[in-house]
A and B are shown apart, each in its own frame.
Chain A
Amino acid sequence: AIQLTQSPSSLSASVGDRVTITCRASQGISSALAWYQQKPGKAPKLLIYDASSLESGVPSRFSGSGSGTDFTLTISSLQPEDFATYYCHQFDSYNYTFGQGTKLEIK
């Protein structure tokens, strides 16, 4: 199965900061990668699909990039509602996997 490794595992940042989270795949997955945001007690919410496409309704401060094995999620200017856990997710093969998550906390 394709492994996804996110870094960092946790991150402290302030409102207004620019934040980048990375996701590395154990083998090439083209652009078959999505990013989810999850808040406590809630189901995950899709932010980015196909590595760089913004899901409808998601603020433009979120962006994704990358292809092959290395991907990034960037939040250009953190807002209070962005403090949550973020997961990357690959769907290149039928053995879907998620990264281990990155918890974004308020500094």
Chain B
Amino acid sequence: EVQLVQSGAEVKKPGTTVKISCKVSGYTFTDYYIHWVQQAPGKGLEWMGLVDPEDGETIYAEKFQGRVTITADTSTDTAYMELSSLRSEDTAVYYCATLTTGFDYWGQGTLVTVSS
């Protein structure tokens, strides 16, 4: 069974950094990109970027460029999303997902709350 299991909820202060993990199982980690998607409360889905676990190459959405770092650790089959310089607008649920035709799986989501 394919599973993407994310780390737990976080509460962060403005200006700090959060790092969320996404551990995959049930398939070969290097076969599919891992994407990250942001969803602010009551808002839509926003694509943040992706990592190719095979070689670590990344592509980021322009909106998050410079603040987001997505990595993949093939020794533990885990992807990470790090978002820096947090502000209140970053309060959201963050999802990891494969977003691939014929292989579309999502994590359960991680709530990040940014509050002073």
Contacts and interface: CB of A to CB of B under 8 A. Distances in A.
Nearest to A56: B102
B46 A98 contact: yes
Given A44-B106, A49-B101, A95 B45 contact: no
Contacts of B101: 34, 49-50, 91
Interface in A56-102: 87, 89, 91, 94-101
B45 A98 contact: yes
Q: State the 6 A-B residue pairs at the shortest beta-carbon distance, nearest first.
A: A43-B106, A46-B104, A98-B45, A101-B44, A96-B47, A49-B101
B68 to A, nearest CB: 14
Q: How large is the interface on B (under 10, 10 to 19, 20 to 34, 35 or more residues)?
A: 20 to 34
Given A1-B62, A91-B99, A96-B35, A49 B45 contact: no
A8 to B, nearest CB: 14
Given A34-B101, A91-B101, A98-B44, 11 more contacts: A38-B45, A44-B106, A49-B101, A89-B45, A89-B99, A95-B47, A95-B59, A95-B61, A96-B61, A98-B46, A100-B44
Main secondary structure of the interface of B (DSSP, over half): loop
B80 interface: no
A46 B35 CA distance: 15
Contact of B109 (A43, A94, A98): A43
A94 B107 CA distance: 21
B108 A99 contact: no
A99 B45 CA distance: 8
Contacts of B97: 43
A100 B108 CA distance: 21
Contacts of A44: 45, 95, 106
Contacts of A97: 47
Contacts of B109: 43
